[in-house]
Structure 1
Amino acid sequence: MTILERIKELSKSQGLSLQAVAVKAGIGKNSIYKWDTQTPSIEKITNVANILHVSTDYLLGSTDNQSPAPKHQQIDLEDKNVIMTFEGKPIPPEDIELMKRLLRGKNTDE
């Protein structure tokens, strides 16, 4: 299945036309139709993948898994509900304090 065929299928299942997907992705409204014969830029593929809520790998045919890669989650080191482990074992509180100082760029000898 080509990138154009995948986009057509996804667009249809989401009730969108190819032109609507293109406009939402911030590219020319007829751009996607040309992707059968022209190679789109990575930026354009990424924008379309984001609109259709799939991975770029899925659009490119590298995988049949439509799920986009999970976004990196920020963790607050001061949050008492964060459970920190290393190799399946809890990290001792004194080591957590050392790691916090290192991450903040402070001297560990203080």
Structure 2
Amino acid sequence: MTPFDRLKTLADKQGLSVNDVERRIGLGRNTLYSWKKKIPSGNNLIKVADFFHVSTDFLLGRSTDSTADLDDDNVIFTYQGKPLSKEDKALIKRLMNGKD
């Protein structure tokens, strides 16, 4: 399975097209389709991994565990691929535990 195949599978599971993913993470049209024939660049690979909350190793096929190298806070507490502040994380944890 190529990085593009993994990306496409992740997008399909969320009801997104590859072009939708490109728009949401600020990449040019057909940038991700180039993954069909070449290994993705580091920056774009990281953007896609962050967007889908998976590891870069998973996208590259080096791991079958999509979250192998991510810590729990970064998996749970991101918005549009960017980590939340410590204060926002603490507030969300309190809300999830019914303490606010």
Q: CA deviation at 1:39?
A: 2.7
Instruction: Give, in whole Å, the separation in 1 of the partners of 2:64 and 2:39.
Output: 20
Counterpart in 2 of 1:46? 46
Counterpart in 2 of 1:65? 65
Instruction: Give, in whole Å, the separation in 2 of the partners of 1:59 and 1:41.
Output: 12
8 A Cα contact 1:58 1:64, kept in partner: yes
Counterpart in 2 of 1:99? none
8 A Cα contact 2:7 2:59, kept in partner: yes
Backbone CA RMSD of aligned residues:
1.7
8 A Cα contact 1:22 1:32, kept in partner: yes
Instruction: Give, in whole Å, the separation in 1 of the partners of 2:25 and 2:50.
Output: 8
Partner SS, residue 19 of structure 1: helix
Q: CA deviation at 1:12?
A: 0.1
Which amino acid letter does the alignment assign opposite residue 40 of structure 2? P
For structure 1, which runs of at least 5 residues remain unmatched after alignment? 75-110
8 A Cα contact 2:10 2:52, kept in partner: yes
Aligned residue pairs, count: 73
After TM superposition, where is structure 1 displaced by more than 4 Å over at least 4 residues in a row? none
Counterpart in 2 of 1:28? 28
8 A Cα contact 2:11 2:18, kept in partner: yes
1:67-97 Cα deviation digits (max 9, x unpaired): 151158x7xxxxxxxxxxxxxxxxxxxxxxx
> Which protein shows a greater Rg?
1
Length-normalised TM-score, structure 1: 0.60
8 A Cα contact 1:20 1:29, kept in partner: no
Length-normalised TM-score, structure 2: 0.66
Aligned-pair identity (%): 37
1:22-79 Cα deviation digits (max 9, x unpaired): 111221121111111123210000001111111111001010111151158x7xxxxx
